Amino acid sequence: MSGPAKIDLLVVGGGLPGLAAVCCAARRGALAALAPTGFETPDEGSVCEPPSQLWRLLELHQYGFKFDSPPRHVSLFEGDAIATGEDMMRDGRALSRRDAALEHLWPAYSKDMARALEKRDGNFERLISANALLDDYFDDEALKTHLLSAYVAPFGLCGDEPGSAEALFAAGAPRRRSIDAATFGRALSKAGEAAGAEIMTARLQSLERIENRRWLARFESGREIRARTVMASSAAAVEPFGLRVATDGSALARRKGVSARVRLSFEKKPKAAAEWKRAVFHVAGDREAVRIARDAMIDGALAEAPPVAFEIDGKGITAQAYFCPSRLIENGEAREWTGQDRQVLGRAVAGVIEKRLGVKVEVSDVRVGPDIEAGLERRNFSIPAITAPAPSTDPVNAAAMLAWDLTGGDGGA
């Protein structure tokens, strides 16, 4: 065969979202390939089970998944904790211990969020800030901090940004169980193989627009592929590469700073792990602390006590610090992260967790990135923006559903 291969859909950006997207497209009959960029986040922990649509399409019942109940969000405060993420009536009843009115207000809030999630046009709530929306619903400052930590902070937002209310809508999404990310990855690889999707190992080198609105992708291996359509697996995997993405007007794209993942080990398993099984813990203090961390991030500094989200497993703790600067600024000069900075961050995160859990923890690993801002600074304006799923708490399924949409109509023919 001479000349570059011609395909229907090129999925840029690997990882689980990319895999899910390329499998989905291939199963729908499209010639599809997956091009990693090198900015993917590794597949660890657990992810949401895919929606039944995708389950049916990929015949996922063959792969023997083990299901876990959906994780609960638990905010730990000094001498206080708030947990949500169960059935809304049950959550409401639990919250009514804080304030009797919440028993009925909480289900109303959940239902409103579910409706807001669906309502795309003429939705004023989509345009306002998360804090404005929370203030409109609740008085309980701790509950507002909890919702901010659980739904807004993961996007690197502190809740005062216009449009950040959109992140809160996820509270209204149907609860789905979770599955092991690595198993899901293997299943997707097999499903992709069976469907004839090409999963490249060589990284993408360049992407350009050629005649007839087609795309030409060059790979580090020297290979070239022509594609009719290109989609991004996620904004985070593609923007550091310098490509622009179009996420259908979502206000949740991270534009500043990066997330850091800190792995911690402990000698004695914290009591909280037994008290709250299957939980994502949040330690933020209050909404002001979240804002301080966000401001520090933009100012190129590390907050002293950053808001932290973490999960506890048998061996240790995996923590996320959402508000880290892309580059640290000292005396007006920007510089890259050093090993020492990572240590400082690790210690700060460990300090926050130790204080709240009351157990000693050791930092074993700190990872920062990917750096989107670097990509934004050298973006390629000569080609159109690439369709990407809107940032979401469930990026795998968001990518798969986008591939589903793109291969509907004539794309799947």
Pairing label, strands 258-266, 245-246: unpaired
Binding residue for another protein, selected from 22, 152, 236, 251, defined by CB under 8 A: 251
Pairing label, strands 333-335, 308-312: unpaired
- Distance, in Å, from the CA atom of 84 to the CA atom of 336, rounded to the nearest integer, reads 38
- Distance, in Å, from the CA atom of 236 to the CA atom of 373, rounded to the nearest integer, reads 10
Which of 287, 307, 293 has its CA nearest to residue 352?
Answer: 307
Q: Cβ of residue 108: shortest distance to another protein, in angstroms?
A: 4
Pairing label, strands 361-368, 258-266: antiparallel
Stretch that binds another protein, among 20-28, 34-42, 244-252, 346-354 (CB under 8 A): 244-252
For the segment 113-142, give every residue that binds another protein (CB under 8 A). 115, 118, 124, 127-128, 132, 136-137
Number of residues that bind another protein (CB under 8 A): 48
Cα within 13 Å of Cα(76), Cβ side: 23
Using rule CB under 8 A, residue 41 touches another protein: no
Using rule CB under 8 A, residue 98 touches another protein: no
Using rule CB under 8 A, residue 163 touches another protein: yes
Q: Cβ of residue 383: shortest distance to another protein, in angstroms?
A: 13
Q: What is the CA radius of gyration of the chain?
A: 22
**Residue 386 neighbours by CB under 8 Å, 6+ apart:** 12, 230, 231, 232, 238, 243, 244, 245, 246
3-state secondary structure of 49: coil
For the segment 367-386, give every residue that binds another protein (CB under 8 A). 376-379, 381, 385
Phi, psi for residue 176 in degrees, rounded to 5: -125, 145
C-beta of 26 vs 148, nearer to another protein: 148
Using rule CB under 8 A, residue 337 touches another protein: no
Sheet strands (E) in 92-200:
178-180, 198-199
For the segment 284-313, give every residue that binds another protein (CB under 8 A). 295, 298-300
Q: Do 116 and 172 meet the contact criterion of CB atoms below 8 Å apart? A: yes
Using rule CB under 8 A, residue 160 touches another protein: yes
Binding residue for another protein, selected from 24, 88, 142, 168, defined by CB under 8 A: 88
For the segment 256-275, give every residue that binds another protein (CB under 8 A). 256
Angle, helix 15-27 to helix 181-195, in steps of 10 degrees: 30
Q: Cβ of residue 315: shortest distance to another protein, in angstroms?
A: 35
Using rule CB under 8 A, residue 334 touches another protein: yes
C-beta of 153 vs 317, nearer to another protein: 153
Using rule CB under 8 A, residue 214 touches another protein: no
Q: Do 258 and 372 meet the contact criterion of CB atoms below 8 Å apart? A: yes
Amino acid sitting at position 356: R
Q: How many CB atoms lie within 10 A of CB 313?
A: 11
Using rule CB under 8 A, residue 101 touches another protein: yes
Stretch that binds another protein, among 16-24, 67-75, 161-169, 271-279 (CB under 8 A): 161-169
Rounded (5°) CA angle 318-247-308: 20
Using rule CB under 8 A, residue 323 touches another protein: no
- Distance, in Å, from the CA atom of 391 to the CA atom of 250, rounded to the nearest integer, reads 7
C-beta of 4 vs 107, nearer to another protein: 107
- Distance, in Å, from the CA atom of 253 to the CA atom of 161, rounded to the nearest integer, reads 11
Q: Cβ of residue 175: shortest distance to another protein, in angstroms?
A: 12
Binding residue for another protein, selected from 42, 162, 196, 408, defined by CB under 8 A: 162
Binding residue for another protein, selected from 68, 99, 112, 286, defined by CB under 8 A: 112
Q: Rule CB under 8 A: which residues touch another protein?
A: 87-90, 100-101, 103-105, 107-109, 111-112, 115, 118, 124, 127-128, 132, 136-137, 160-163, 242, 246-251, 253, 255-256, 295, 298-300, 329, 334, 376-379, 381, 385
